[in-house]
């Protein structure tokens, strides 16, 4: 028997049941010609309700994935904004 899945508003509603997580669309934080690719996706683990920001950094064809809790991602955003405003 299938359980009714409740998706967060931002979920793209693809493979949630099979992956056990909700995922947003992936946003690219790059511009044409950038040496490093940066993609960001919001992910929520369905069973734990833990929300993470997944960053994919691609350099010379190799992708590395980092998952950061949302609160830490907000703190990182503040740090980046502060550094770039110097």
Residue ranges that bind Zn ion, judged by CB under 5 A: 7, 11, 16, 22
Question: Between 22 and 54, whose beta carbon lies closer to Zn ion?
Answer: 22
- Contact assessment for residue 12 and residue 24, using Cβ atoms and an 8 Å cutoff: yes
CA distance 9 to 24: 9
CA distance 25 to 10: 8
CB of 6 to Zn ion, least distance (A): 8
Which helix (H) or strand (E) is 64 found in, with range? strand 62-69
CB of 11 to Zn ion, least distance (A): 3
Question: Between 11 and 73, whose beta carbon lies closer to Zn ion?
Answer: 11
Question: Between 40 and 45, whose beta carbon lies closer to Zn ion?
Answer: 45
CB of 84 to Zn ion, least distance (A): 33
């Amino acid at each position: 028997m299938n359980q009714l899945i409740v998706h967060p508003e931002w979920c793209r509603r693809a493979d949630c049941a099979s992956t056990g997580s909700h995922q947003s669309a992936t946003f690219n934080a790059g511009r044409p010609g950038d040496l490093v690719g940066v993609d960001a996706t919001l992910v929520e683990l369905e069973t734990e309700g833990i929300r993470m920001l997944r960053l994919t950094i691609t350099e010379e064809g190799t992708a590395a994935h980092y998952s950061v809790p949302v609160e830490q991602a907000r703190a990182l955003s503040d740090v980046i904004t502060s550094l770039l405003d110097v």
